[in-house]
Amino acid sequence: MASTAALTQVPLLLDHRMVEQHSLRRGEPKWLREARLEALDRFTPDAWPTGEEEEWRRFPLKDLPAGPIVSTLDHLPGIQFKLEPEATAAGVIFKGLLRASLDNPELVRSHIAPGDGIPSHAAFRALADALWSAGSSFVHVPAGVEVRQPLVLEKVWPAGDDAMLSRTIVVAERDSSVTLVEDLTSDGEAPRLAVPHVEVHAGAGARVTYVGIRRFAPGVLDLGFQRFRSARDSDLRSLNVFAGEGRSKVGIESDIEGDGAVVKLFGLVAAGDNQRIDVNSFQRVDGRSSQSDLLYLSALYERAKAIFYGLIRVEPTSHGTGSYQECRNMLLSPEAGADPIPVLEILTNDVVRCGHGATAGALGDEELFYAMSRGFDRDAAQQLLVHGFFRRVINELKDEHVRQRVLSAVRPRIGNIAEMGVLV
Amino acid sequence: MSSLKIRDLVVSVEGKTILNGIDLVIESGSVHAIMGPNGSGKSTLSLAIMGHPKYKIVRGQVLFDGVNLLKLPVDARARAGIFLAFQYPSAIPGVSVANFLRTAINARRAAPSADGAGEVKKNDMPIPQFRKLLAEKMKLLGIDDSFITRSVNDGFSGGEKKRLEILQMHMFQPRFAILDETDSGLDIDALKVVAEGIEAMRSPDVGMLLITHYERILRYVHPDFVHVLVDGRIVRTGGRELAAELESKGYDFVREALYAGRA
Ligand SMILES: Nc1ncnc2c1ncn2[C@@H]1O[C@H](COP(=O)(O)OP(=O)(O)OP(=O)(O)O)[C@@H](O)[C@H]1O
Ligand SMILES: [Mg+2]
């Protein structure tokens, strides 16, 4: 058990009592409290990043918000878990995590153990797993069930300085299908910490899409973590949209755990001001003929900086897999910057493809001139080109409403000149 | 009646003088053709008129109905009614042709605020009207439906790019069009369609400058004047017969005449 004394090097203090009190106050069952305490055990001084890790070298973990780490907010105002009647009838569960723990304990219990993943993010996973509160959610889709409408969660944290620690657990059983969209917003300007911890399990043959949109307020320090697990023949897509005004340091891990799995990890970053959006990804590729592809696009304004450290590991036990990592950065101001760092670890000769591509550069002069010669002023021409650039990812979204939601999230940054749902 | 008056235009690119004093007046309703060897400065002339930032105006004026175009930003030139069909059009990945055309039309219809700083006043073309216009123009130019959902010039063949330039000209209805080798790289059928597209634009209100290497297009689009541009100067001006003469004799004969005259 972690003691307070042992944690003095760590800038955040939490202890057994805090976690226990938090759970008791919320009226949680004992097993849930134990799961939280188990997570607390992982919150050790060694779990805290030293800054030497590849993932943390470019993201100084100083100026941690001083607000309370324990939030007494149990429910986000206005959050709605809307589920189509067919899905409810088929036994799909789509609820707040506490509600699900009370209603469906046996199900939640089997997925509530503290999450694993990239070691240097362990402290933040542990933090979220020990102290999650409002905005946590649970999705379970039974085998063979297809949820047609995307599940959409609008999570709006009211103003405050308490930490926004949440857990999202999505379990799609064998041959099921589901799309979850989480749209995260926060009000207020106070410095505060956010750790959205997301775990997605795609069972054998399941088709899962996870879209996470972040529109956090300027004072937010987002240290989120996501882990995607893919069983054989599953198809898993994720899209992260960074459209807020805060700082982000997010770790993403994708583990392929069976043959023939397909993973697609997309990202859009629309940042400005002095924002720093730092993402590190780990694509673990295993199995026979599995595919893992990542595509992150950034549009960077003013003094914004995007850092992307991406690692692909093709495991020695894999056969004939394909993987790729692509990171493109559009610098829309001379002071904007991008630092894409791709790393490939190919531990077998039996690989069909594995590669990376990374670029960072200003808008093309010829393209700008061409657009302006058609009557667009400079700003409109720029909007048009950025919009076109983002389309490559947006077009991957099949659902028109989800697409519109993503567009509306990036609109304040990239503008709306080229939005034309009506036509094409 | 409007006119485009080019006076003593000297243009340099990366410190090198390319145009050495061009004088040319084009009245609306007339078509002028410019022919000239590779590298003589034809595209430089068209890009300088449009306002490409790489092409520096050393001296001279371009007056469009008395307004000095060279003082206007690129987009203002376009909105004033100048259209350039590019020799090498740029691709805009992710922006469909239909989307591009519609937003461009709306951008052109928007009225800039009186003080130039505030909000522009929008005046969007209603979607049904846009659709109708587009369908009409596509039919005129024999353009397939699938074309308009593709990204602008992205992966287009040379001929497809030229067709899109002509389609844009028709959608924007400029008062003055410069067509920079729009007839190059076209197969016989496409050439005919493009030529008819150009011909269909002809009207007493529209002036045109047709840059070409081939006399062929001039058989469809009859120019009122043919100019020969060599080494950044207009060295000869004549009627359609000049194009035929060039075709048979090549540029050397103009060059020889030019330099013999000077020596
Ligand atoms: N952007 C540029 N950078 C450097 N040199 C340029 C540029 N544009 C034009 N030039 C030079 O200016 C001269 C004229 O070029 P221009 O493109 O105007 O010729 P052109 O008459 O259009 O030729 P073509 O028939 O091949 O299209 C050439 O020597 C060319 O290399
Ligand atoms: Mg040229």
Which residues in A203-350 belong to E strands, given as ranges? Answer: 207-215, 220-222, 225-230, 235-242, 247-256, 262-271, 276-285, 291-300, 305-314, 321-331, 337-346
pLDDT of residue B246: 87
Taking the centre of ligand 2 as the mean of its atom positions, its distance from the CA of residue B249, in whole angstroms, is: 21
Is B176 in CB contact (< 8 Å) with chain A? no
Which residues in A103-163 belong to E strands, given as ranges? Answer: 137-141, 151-157
Q: How far apart are CA A296 and CA A271, in angstroms?
A: 13
Is A390 in CB contact (< 8 Å) with chain B? yes
Show the tokens assigned to A366.
């010829």
Confidence bin at B26 (pLDDT 50/70/90): very high
pLDDT tens digits, A50-64: 999 999 999 988 889
pLDDT tens digits, A355-384: 999 999 999 999 999 999 999 999 999 999
Measure CB to CB from residue B90 to each of A370, A423, A424 and give the nearest one.
Answer: A370
Q: How far apart are CA A90 and CA A95, in angstroms?
A: 15
Q: How far apart are CA B153 and CA A311, in angstroms?
A: 34
Is A66 in contact with A193 (CB distance < 8 Å)? no
Taking the centre of ligand 1 as the mean of its atom positions, its distance from the CA of residue B56, in whole angstroms, is: 13
Ligand 1, atom 17: closest residue by C-alpha:
B43
Atom of ligand 1 nearest to the CA of B47: 18
User: Mean pLDDT score of chain B, rounded to an integer?
Assistant: 92
pLDDT at A37 over 80: yes
pLDDT at B112 over 90: no
pLDDT of residue B1: 78
Ligand 1, atom 27: closest residue by C-alpha:
B38
pLDDT of residue A183: 98
Measured from CB, residues less than 6 Å from any atom of ligand 1 are: B 13-14, 18, 36, 38-44, 54, 87
Q: Which residue of chain A comes nearest to B78, CA vs CA?
A: A375
pLDDT at B262 over 60: no
Is A188 in contact with A220 (CB distance < 8 Å)? no
Element (H, E) at A17: helix A16-25
Is B96 in CB contact (< 8 Å) with chain A? yes
Q: Give the closest ligand to the alpha carbon of residue B16.
A: 1
Confidence bin at B247 (pLDDT 50/70/90): confident
CA distance A178 to chain B (A): 27
Taking the centre of ligand 2 as the mean of its atom positions, its distance from the CA of residue B22, in whole angstroms, is: 16
CA distance B205 to chain A (A): 20
pLDDT tens digits, B73-111: 999 999 999 999 999 999 999 999 999 999 999 999 987
What does the DSSP 8-state code read for residue B90?
P
**To test the ligand 1 pocket, which listed residue (B17, B35, B38, B45) has its Cβ within 8 A of the most ligand atoms?**
B38
Q: How far apart are CA A225 and CA A199, in angstroms?
A: 9
Number of CB atoms found within 10 A of residue B195's CB: 20
Atom of ligand 1 nearest to the CA of B36: 21
User: Mean pLDDT score of chain A, rounded to an integer?
Assistant: 95
Element (H, E) at A95: strand A93-96
Nearest Cα to A225, choosing from A293, A169, A299? A169
pLDDT of residue B263: 43
A351-362/B151-152 β-pairing: unpaired
Q: Which residue of chain B comes nearest to A375, CA vs CA?
A: B75
Q: How far apart are CA B37 and CA B34, in angstroms?
A: 10
**To test the ligand 1 pocket, which listed residue (B44, B46, B54, B209) has its Cβ within 8 A of the most ligand atoms?**
B44
Q: How far is CA B244 from CA A118, B218, B228, in A?
A: 74, 9, 12
pLDDT at A170 over 50: yes
Measure CB to CB from residue A373 to each of B74, B99, B102 and give the nearest one.
Answer: B74
- How large a percentage of chain A has pLDDT more than 90? 93
Show the tokens assigned to A343.
């790393």
Contact between A422 and B95 using a beta-carbon 8 Å cutoff? no
CA distance B253 to chain A (A): 36
Measure CB to CB from residue B107 to each of A376, A422, A423 and give the nearest one.
Answer: A376
Ligand 1, atom 24: closest residue by C-alpha:
B38
B146-156 residues labelled b (16+ CB within 10 A) or e (exposed): ebbebbbbeeb
Contact between B92 and A391 using a beta-carbon 8 Å cutoff? no
Residues of B in contact with A376 (CB under 8 A): 75, 103-104, 107
Taking the centre of ligand 2 as the mean of its atom positions, its distance from the CA of residue B42, in whole angstroms, is: 5
What is residue B87's three-state secondary structure?
coil
**Residue A35: which residues within 8 A CB-CB, separation 6 or more?**
A109, A112, A113, A114, A129
pLDDT at A11 over 60: yes
- B243 or A405, which is more confident? A405
Chains A and B: how many Cβ contacts under 8 Å?
102
Q: Locate tokens 């995607």: which residue? A: A228
pLDDT tens digits, A275-305: 999 999 999 999 999 999 999 999 999 999 9
Contact between B78 and A373 using a beta-carbon 8 Å cutoff? yes
**Residue B223: which residues within 8 A CB-CB, separation 6 or more?**
B31, B32, B33, B210, B240, B243
pLDDT tens digits, A203-259: 999 999 999 999 999 999 999 999 999 999 999 999 999 999 999 999 999 999 999
Q: What are phi and psi of A72, to 5 degrees?
A: -95, 5
Model-level ipTM above the cut of 0.85: yes
Contact between A381 and B75 using a beta-carbon 8 Å cutoff? yes
Residues of B in contact with A375 (CB under 8 A): 75, 78-79, 104, 107-108, 172
pLDDT at B152 over 50: yes
* Residue range(s) defining the domain that contains residue B108: 3-262
What are the domain boundaries of chain A?
A: 5-368, 369-424
Confidence bin at A4 (pLDDT 50/70/90): very low
pLDDT of residue B117: 62
Q: How far apart are CA A362 and CA A179, in angstroms?
A: 34
Number of folded domains in chain B? 1
pLDDT tens digits, B52-72: 999 999 999 999 999 999 999
Nearest Cα to A121, choosing from A246, A216, A251, A7? A251
What is residue B77's three-state secondary structure?
helix
Is A48 in CB contact (< 8 Å) with chain B? no
Nearest Cα to A140, choosing from A113, A114, A103, A165? A103
Measure CB to CB from residue A372 to each of B75, B89, B95 and give the nearest one.
Answer: B75
Residues of B in contact with A406 (CB under 8 A): none
Q: How far is CA A291 from CA A4, A211, A253, A395, in A?
A: 44, 19, 15, 20
pLDDT of residue A17: 95
Taking the centre of ligand 2 as the mean of its atom positions, its distance from the CA of residue A371, in whole angstroms, is: 19
Taking the centre of ligand 1 as the mean of its atom positions, its distance from the CA of residue B177, in whole angstroms, is: 20
pLDDT tens digits, B203-238: 999 999 999 998 889 988 999 999 999 999 999 999
Show the tokens assigned to A189.
């300007």
Residue to mutate among A373, A384, A420, with most B CBs inside 10 A, is A373
Is A400 in CB contact (< 8 Å) with chain B? no
Which amino acid makes up residue A118? I
**Distance linking the first and last C-alpha atoms of chain B:** 41
Residues 354-383 of A with CB under 8 A from B: 364-367, 369-378, 380-381
pLDDT tens digits, A303-312: 999 999 999 9
